[in-house]
Amino acid sequence: MSQLSTAHTPRVVFANGAIDQLAEEIHLLHKARILLISDESASAHAARVKAELGSLIRQTVTSVVMHVPDEFSSPITAKARLLDIDLVVTIGGGSATGLGKIVALDCGIDLLAIPTTYAGSEMTTIWGRTHESKKITGRSLAVLPKTTIYDPELTYSLPLAISANSGMNAIAHAVEALYAPDVTPDVKASAIEGIEIFAVGLRGIVTDIYSPSAREQLLRGSMLCGFALSNSTMGIHHKICHTLGGMFDLPHAQMHSAVLPWAAQYNQDFASEQLNEVAKVLQAPSAALGLWTLAKDIGAETSLRNIGYPIEESEKVADVIEAATFANPRPFERTAVVDLLRKAYEGSRPDDGS
Ligand code: NAD
């Protein structure tokens, strides 16, 4: 049977200095009333864009809150409606893109994203918001940016620690895409190449944080991993991170980095072909050890203890995960899930899988 691709992607512009093409891209979308959202790190870029676009910019937001609490996004959405905004433009990390997605969704308008981290949200149909302190996520084509502008120069300022954890977050998308029930050849190729790029590029910026070639490669890697995330179904790793984020408000990228090796180990015998491929790309005896070693080498987080996870709550976490439905190669096994959480908490070296 031939395999049909149902992949969705934004129009992608990728080049050093590509932010200068923003006016042209807005023109191509036939938009005239813009809400510009930027995070604190992107304030200089936002000021330049604002000066260049002049009266096209009708509303600005210059700070964002992770996981988009409704009480933060609602007044922004209300004002956007009042001003008849027809395009949201975001410059910043996944939190800025995330706010842009919610405004786009609630107002029924288009989004153009300019990412400055490796989170990958700018490639996906996935939205997330926090309603009455509970994080909820969903998928909708309405939040897939119409256009994504990747400008590697905007990532030169990303500190090593944020780059490293954000990179591990991107790798997590790719690892889970590989064993997703709906993985396609396109997704598989993107995921493998994405992991390969991050393994090399993240070590590259440890040596030279301003390396233009490493920064360009890393942003390309985040595009590929974001594509893999958007076009496949995530498994237990994302379910655990979503649960921990919702229950304890742990920092997103660090949490992904600490949990990923142990989620890979949990699934090892149930998705051995795919995880052995990850190990091969990472030149390690097992996916778990390769992921953990990469995180260690680049200074990404390897322990949930360091980011405040209350280990005594693991049974409650397991209850929430057990009650959720998600696709994963290995069925839910309480003892093994609690053990996974303990290992991610301790952050010690996985064995070599032999
Ligand atoms: P973030 O956007 O919160 O950014 C982390 C920090 O880095 C912030 O302080 C930010 O100001 C700073 N920063 C961003 N770019 C910078 C730069 N170039 N130079 C210097 N500092 C910079 O974190 P994140 O990890 O990018 O995104 C996390 C959020 O994205 C979470 O809410 C997560 O749920 C969401 N996310 C969503 C998807 C999706 O598909 N919907 C995918 C991945 C992540």
| pLDDT tens profile 33-89 | 999 999 999 999 999 999 999 999 999 999 999 999 999 999 999 999 999 999 999
Residue 253, ligand 1, Cβ within 6 A: yes
Residue 140, ligand 1, Cβ within 6 A: no
**Smallest CA separation from ligand 1 atom 40, residue:** 121
Paired strand residues for 12: 148
Cα(199) to centroid(ligand 1), Å = 20
Q: Residue 243 has what pLDDT?
A: 93
**Ramachandran area for residue 203 (φ above 0: left; ψ -120 to 50: alpha; else beta):** alpha
- Ligand 1 atom showing the smallest separation from residue 166 Cα: 25
On the 0-12 / 13-18 / 19+ scale of CB atoms within 10 A, 166 is buried
pLDDT of 305 strictly over 80? yes
Residue 98, ligand 1, Cβ within 6 A: yes
Residue 187, ligand 1, Cβ within 6 A: no
Whether the Cβ atoms of residue 79 and residue 59 lie closer than 8 Å to each other: yes
Paired strand residues for 88: 35, 111
pLDDT of 154 strictly over 60? yes
Percent of the chain residues topping a pLDDT of 90: 94
- Ligand 1 atom showing the smallest separation from residue 123 Cα: 40
Residue 95, ligand 1, Cβ within 6 A: yes
Cα(92) to centroid(ligand 1), Å = 7
Residue 93, ligand 1, Cβ within 6 A: yes
Percent of the chain residues topping a pLDDT of 70: 98
C-alpha separations of 63 from 21, 152, 290 in Å: 23, 22, 36
pLDDT of 168 strictly over 90? yes
Residue 341, ligand 1, Cβ within 6 A: no
Query: 280 vs 135, which has greater pLDDT?
Result: 280
Q: Residue 7 has what pLDDT?
A: 86
Model confidence, pTM:
0.96
Alpha-carbon distance of 191 to 185, in angstroms, equals: 10
On the 0-12 / 13-18 / 19+ scale of CB atoms within 10 A, 197 is buried
- Ligand 1 atom showing the smallest separation from residue 67 Cα: 32
Residue 41, ligand 1, Cβ within 6 A: yes
- Ligand 1 atom showing the smallest separation from residue 96 Cα: 2
Cα(93) to centroid(ligand 1), Å = 3
**Smallest CA separation from ligand 1 atom 39, residue:** 121
Cα(354) to centroid(ligand 1), Å = 36
pLDDT of 3 strictly over 70? no
Question: Who's near 143: CB < 8 A, 6+ residues apart?
Answer: 101, 102, 104, 105, 111, 124, 125, 126, 127
pLDDT of 5 strictly over 90? no
Q: Residue 353 has what pLDDT?
A: 61
Residue 90, ligand 1, Cβ within 6 A: no
Cα(88) to centroid(ligand 1), Å = 17
pLDDT of 4 strictly over 60? no
Residue 73, ligand 1, Cβ within 6 A: no
Residue 155, ligand 1, Cβ within 6 A: yes
Q: Residue 15 has what pLDDT?
A: 98
**Token output for 3:** 């395999």
Residue 137, ligand 1, Cβ within 6 A: no
Cα(243) to centroid(ligand 1), Å = 18
Report residue 246's pLDDT band, with 50, 70 and 90 as the boundaries. confident
> Residue 172: which H helix or E strand, with range?
helix 160-178
